[in-house]
A and B are shown apart, each in its own frame.
Chain A
Amino acid sequence: MIGLSHYLIVSAIIFSIGLVGVLRRRNLLMLFFATEVMLNAVNIAFAAISHYYNDLTGQMFAFFIIAIAASEVAVGLGILIVLYKKHGSLDLDDLASMRG
């Protein structure tokens, strides 16, 4: 039988994949993708807990996470386009303009 811990383990694995992506990538668009992966992992955990405790609160939180992810992508991509116009690249090391 599939229990709550199965879902939590899958969610933790996917979250770690996203975390490794955030730590490893230097391209800003790839950082966004890794963030989406982490948000999705958390959504799985919320939905699983909501199912196994027979409570709707987890699903509600997942809805708001999806809404926040949507607005984050809208603003973030706008900023990425402005950065690309200014610097011609999305590499984090090129954007380190505040290095002393």
Chain B
Amino acid sequence: MLENFAASLMTVEGFAFYLFSVLTIGLFLVTVMSKNILYSMTSLASGMVLISGFFFILGADFLGVVQLVVYVGAIMALYSFAMMFFDATRDIKEKNTSNALVFVLGGLSALVLVLMFAAPIHSDAIQALYPMHEGVGNAQDVGIVLFTKYLVPFEVAAVMLLVAMIAGIILAGKKMDESLTEDVSADDEIMIVKDEK
């Protein structure tokens, strides 16, 4: 067991796998446990970069690039823009409900997860529906399957993104000229200073 672990650490793939898993688990723990939104957002972004590392190890190059572009580029940028609306530097005060309940529920779901993974499957009976081709790049392979077998879901996803964009603009765009975090009294003080001059 231990020899196996040491041997797999010697290979490039094994070393990268263990490094990425330890780092992602640590960073996501920071995300979930931190009291500061800024800390948890930065750790979430770096954890997502490391998850794209997993995809590169697994040979899913295109998925890794999409993860970097969409998650780290677009979604995290959206979160950081949204954080400007909220007071992000302040620590969050949360009233934690009973920890016992959380741990009982978490333990039960972990049990279900273990049962699901330990369930016997006929792995021999599983056949590749859209097998990968030797000597063809991953992006090319993905493109062929995406634009033939998954064309309709792809178009539906495009429409869904358009609807989400319109919904986001309409929801967030109302009363954009009013500041949310600044209190109104600060404006009055500025007015008073101006009057004194």
Contacts and interface: CB of A to CB of B under 8 A. Distances in A.
5 contacts: A2-B13, A27-B92, A54-B128, A55-B130, A64-B157
A78 B51 contact: no
Contacts of A37: 28, 31-32, 44, 47
A48 B58 contact: yes
Interface of A: 1-2, 5-10, 12-21, 23-27, 29-30, 32-34, 36-37, 40, 43-44, 47-48, 50-51, 53-57, 59-60, 62-64, 66-75, 77-82, 84-85, 90-91, 93
Contacts of B82: 29, 77, 80-81
Contacts of A36: 44, 48, 71, 75
Given A77-B82, A82-B171, 13 more contacts: A6-B17, A16-B109, A17-B25, A17-B28, A17-B29, A26-B94, A30-B92, A33-B32, A33-B41, A56-B130, A69-B71, A82-B172, A93-B95
Contacts of A50: 58, 60
Nearest to B145: A56
B31 A47 contact: no
B137 interface: no
A61 to B, nearest CB: 10
Interface of B: 8, 11, 13-14, 17, 21, 24-25, 28-29, 31-32, 37, 40-41, 44, 47-48, 51, 54-55, 58-60, 62-63, 66-67, 70-71, 74-75, 78-79, 82-83, 85-86, 92, 94-97, 102, 105-106, 109-110, 113-114, 117, 126, 128-132, 141-142, 145-146, 150, 153, 157, 160-161, 163-165, 167-172, 174-175, 178, 180
A61 B153 CA distance: 10
A100 B151 CA distance: 48
Contacts of B97: 26
A46 to B, nearest CB: 9
Contacts of B113: 12, 15-16
Given A51-B59, A56-B145, A84-B86, A20 B153 contact: no
Contacts of A13: 25
Contacts of B131: 54-56
A78 B157 contact: no
A81 to B, nearest CB: 5
A44 B51 contact: yes
Contacts of A68: 157, 160
